Structures are given as C-alpha cells and as structure tokens.
Amino acid sequence: MTSLAGTNLSAVFVGAAGKHPGGAPSLLTTQRAVAVMLLTAAVVWAFWHFFHTQHLFSSKGQDWSHAYLVPVISGFLIWQNRREIVATKAQIFWPGLIPLVMSVPCYLLFQLGSLATHMGQGWAMILAVFGLTLLLTGPRMMTLLFLPICYLAFGVTVAEMVMIKLTFVLQGIAAQGGWIALNLLGLHTDLSGNTLTVWDKAGNSHPLNIAEACSGMRMVIAFAALGVAVALATLKHWWQRIALIQLGLPVAVGMNIVRVAVLGIATLYDPELAKGEAHMFIGFALLVVAFFVFMGVAELLKRTVHETPPKKGASPAVYRAGPINVRGLMVPAFVTAMVLLLTVALGLTSTLQAMGIFLQKQKIEAPGNRNVAAVPTETEHWITAGESNARLSIEFVEELGTSNYLMRTYEQKQAEPGKAKATVHLHLAYYTGMVDTVPHVADRCMTAAGMLPVTLAEELQVQLDQSTWRVDERVPANALGQLVYTGRTSRYSDAPNLRVRLPRGIDDLRMRFSTFDLGGNQRSVAGYFFMANGGYTPSPEGVRVLAFKLQDDYAYYLKVQTTVNGSIDSKQAAALTGQLLSELLPEIARCAPDWVEVESGNYPPDNPRKSKTR
C-alpha cells in the first residue's frame, strides 16, 4: 500500500524525480496540473468569504491593489527553484493534516469570535495551504515551498487598527523629512503636525497634507512586499536576504519623503498636481524607483560573496502534456484533503445559513437615500455660520472612506449674558457595507493635524433636552433594558413635527472628549459618539459590537463629532454639544435607517426578513 501510494504520488504531484511522460523532467504534467487546479478550487471555495473580502479591499483603491500580484510572485519563486523541486521526491506526510485541520477552527474563530478580523482569516487560509502542501509533498519539499507560501501573507490586508499603530509614527517622520528636504531645496515651508505649508516667492501659501492627516504611510506594505520579493528572488544567502529586507522600512520612509518633496514642488506650479490621479501616479512611480533601489542593493550584496557558477544543464520544462489517470488521483491523502475542504465549503455555508448568521453585511441607506448633508442649517437656537457643508479634497474623502459626510459650523443665535456667541463645528460621516473597519476619531486625526493634546478620550455625560421625547411603546425593551424613544423634528425641518425613532441608549448619552492646545489660552475640544445598527456607543470598539452582530444581515454606523474652540474646558464643550444635539438629534437620526423597521423586515423593500416575519 505504501509503495502504491508513493508511485501514484510521484505521478500526480510536483517534485517526483526522474523522467516523466514525454522525456525530460517537468515541473507540471497534465496529471499534476489537474490535481493542483482541483486543490486550488477547493481552497478558494472553502475560504470564499476571505477571498471575496480581499477582492473588495484590493479593488477599491491603491493601498492593497498589490495583493493581486502576490500569488504571481509566489508562483515565480516556485518556478525559480524548479530544478530543485523536480529533483526532490514528494511523499505523503500525514502530520501535515494537523495544520490543515487546525486552519478550520482558526478560520471560524476569526469569523465568528470576538477576534473576528479579515487579517486572521487570511492567516487561517495560509495555514491551510501550508498544511495541504506538507501533507501531499512532505518535509523535504516544504523546505523549497515554505518561503513562497509565507509570501502569500503580503496578499492579506492588514487590520486597520494594526496598520494605524504600525504607520502613524512613520508618517510623522516622513512629514518632518519632507519639511527638511523642501527647506534645503530653498522652498520656505512650515510644518504643523502632518501638514506642510509651502510658500511661493509672491508670499502665497500652498498647504500640503501628507497623504492626509489620518492615512499613515499608505504604501508601506507594498514597499515591504517589493523588498522581500527582490530579496527572495535574487539572493541565495540568508544574511543577504535579511539585510535587504531590513532595508525595506528605510526605503519606504525615504521614498515617502521624496514623494512629499515632489508634491511640494508640484503644488507651486499647479495645486491639482498634488491631488487625485496625479498624486496616485507619483506614488506608483516611486514604487518603480524603489524596485531599482532594491535591485541595486541586491547586486552589491551579491558581489560581497564569490559565487561558483552553477553547472549548466537542461532546464526542466514548466509544463509537459500527458495522459490523465483518474485512478492516480485516488491517493488517500489527496482524497482526505479534498473531502475536508469540500466539507468546509458546503457545510460552513449551510450551517451559517441555518443559524441565521451573516458574515458579509449588506449596504443599507436611510430612506430615500437621505444624505447627512440634509440636516437643517438652522434650529431654534442655532444657525449655520459659513459654508453649509465644507467640501473636502479627493484625498480627504478617500481617507475618510465615505462621500456621505457633513462639515458644518453652527453659531448661537442669541449669546448668553456677558458672553460672546458660541460656535460648534459638527462633523457627520455615514458608513455602510464596511469590511473590517476602524472608525476615524479625533484622538488620532487632530493630533496628526498638528494640535497638541492636553487630555485624550475623556468620557463625559452629555445632557439632552428630552422634554419632547416619547417612549415607543410598540417596541419592547432589549436585553439591556434599553427602550426606543422618538424625538420630534423642528419647524425648520423639511418635515416639521415628524416623530423619528432614536437609537437605543441615547437617553443616557456619553461622548468621548479630547482637548487640544491651540496656544494663547485657546483650546479645541472634540467629542464623538457613534450610531450603529439601531444603537449608540461612545467608542470605536463599540462599533464592531453593534454593527457586526452575526445575526444582522445589514450594517451601518454614523459618526457624530463636535468641535468647540475657545478658552473652554471639556465640560463646557459637552454642555454646548448637548444644546446643539438636543435640537438636531432627530434630524441626524433621519439620516440613518430606522432599525426597528429593518429588524421587522419592512425596510428596505428587498429585506430578506420580510418573508420570514410574515
């Protein structure tokens, strides 16, 4: 039995030594190609949720578009070692079944547990590929395939929470480096946080935000993937590879500094060159420059060691046609792997459907696609000061992650005795159909914009005028005892005196306030909370709890942020915020779905719950 299995394996999988049908050895025969395609299809099907989500990440912008090339590079690394692979005999290694089996609960954990994250799902998929390869080709072959498999990690989008911590400091370094470079070039430039202001000879200012205040180093992973690919493809010694890989971070920072300097110079001639497609083109152009930098360093490292030229010989063919022996595919290990993967693909989907669990959340908008910009510009005691909705640049909108936003300043109609009229800046941002997201918050963004923090994330009670609120007695309290209240719109609304359901728990509103020093005894106090899937939370972490419930097929969240400037403290800012939100909260709630209607299946019109509740 052992001999038969070994013979079949040699005929099916990569790496059997000796001659193959057609004469010369080859990396793939028709028999092997069929086996590889079947296994690949089974892996994609079993981990379909990950692959679909990764496609969404990679297709929506430049940050992760390199993920499409990662499997190609892994394949190239395998092809580069084709002589060694063909000369190495594959063998069944049943312990490889352990990581393959373990990948299934790991995948479920990162889908359903409190650790639910797309990045973890990707790691589980790579663990499955590792176990599958080890099972069917053995430890000797794994020494040749281990690095190409590990390289697949660069095709997994890093969780935004991790990415923020990883790149935030690096972005500040790039901003300071760009500031130094521009001044050394003779261009008078000021730096505030991550925002540069370049002054032309006429004394006109040209503000330049470094990939926007919240972005971090956008392409740091792409630079790292490029450096590792060059190291693995061109260098043979481990110390050389490690040296080149370590160069990846300095190159990423250096290229970003160069980008800043180029954008600073370009904006003096045409501000549009620092925006949109031109901005993206410069980023990709620097990837090409970085490639030649890596190649140059690799060449220098190779010259430090005298290499004996490899013996010339016939190069194995990549593919050689041959007959397909269905019986040859009936290797017990191959059948076991296929059965396991197909069971996961079929069983996981049907089980989740039976349990009413939705991993992929559908987009949902407010009735009539009501935009947050529809919030009235005037209330009983407040009126808009300045633009009704300040427009952001393309880069800011891209970093914000939504075009459904509001940036508006409200001013008191009547000042309090002995005081000047107070102003409150209101920022709203609506998100839906999100994948593994972390909300933008003032704690990070305003620090990046150059403001010095005095206090961060101080949670305070915000008093709201609830005199016109009513309990919706048709809706029972939830498990936490939270009732659903309705608020009434004002006479300035496009629908005056309309009763609007408010998020659960909003009657005990708490917001996170951060205070920043503006100098001269002036401060900026920013506070925020989130509405999400019919509830509210003062923390970004709470958004995941509310908007990513397994039983919810739709998901949204609406960030509500206020900023108050002046010689005030956080408690005074909370009081002014409460006054403004007391009059605007029903209107803000109109810009989000009525979750009671969503859960009952009445909204949206194609809600799949409709057929279940009737």
Name beta bridge partners: 207.
197
Return the domain boundaries, the chain.
Answer: 2-157+330-354, 184-303, 367-613
User: Could you read off the pLDDT of 500-515 as tens digits, one per residue?
Assistant: 999 999 999 999 999 9
DSSP H or E segment with residue 399:
helix 394-400
Question: Does the structure show a pLDDT above 90 at 96?
Answer: yes
**Which residue from 122, 142, 25 is spatially nearest to 70, judged by alpha carbons?**
122
Check whether 341 has a pLDDT greater than 90. yes
Between CA 460 and CA 593 the distance in angstroms is: 27
Give me the residue label for tokens 């578009």.
65
20 — pLDDT class (breaks 50, 70, 90): very low
pLDDT value at residue 310: 62
Q: What is the mean pLDDT of the chain?
A: 82
Is the pLDDT at 148 greater than 90? The verdict is yes
Residue 484: what pLDDT?
96
Query: Token pair of 464, please?
Result: 């709201």
In a 10 Å sphere around its CB, with 0-12 CB exposed, 13-18 middle and 19+ buried, how is residue 178 labelled? buried
| CA 194 – CA 207 distance, rounded (Å) | 11
Contact 394, 271 (CB under 8 A): no
The two counts, helices (H) then strands (E), for the chain are 19, 16
**Rounded Cα gap, residues 258 and 262, in angstroms:** 6
pLDDT, tens digit, for every residue of 404-442? 999 999 999 998 888 889 999 999 999 997 655 667 777
Q: Which of 156, 145, 98 shows the shortest CA–CA distance to 123?
A: 156
Over residues 91-118, the mean pLDDT reads: 87
Query: Pick the residue with more confidence: 543 or 134?
Result: 134
Q: Using one digit for the tens of pLDDT, what is the confidence trace for 299-330?
A: 888 888 776 666 665 566 665 666 666 666 77
Q: What is the pLDDT of residues 350-381, one digit of tens each?
A: 777 677 677 778 899 999 999 999 999 999 99
**Interatomic CA distance for residues 11 and 324, integer angstroms:** 10
Please tell me whether the peptide bond between 604 and the residue prior to it is cis, using omega within 30 degrees of 0: yes
Q: What is the spatial distance between Cα 252 and Cα 95, in angstroms, rounded to a whole number?
A: 40
Q: Residue 443 pLDDT > 80, yes or no?
A: no
Report d(CA 107, CA 68) in Å as an integer: 21
In this model, does residue 216 exceed pLDDT 60? no
Give the other-Cβ count within 10 Å of 561's Cβ.
Answer: 24
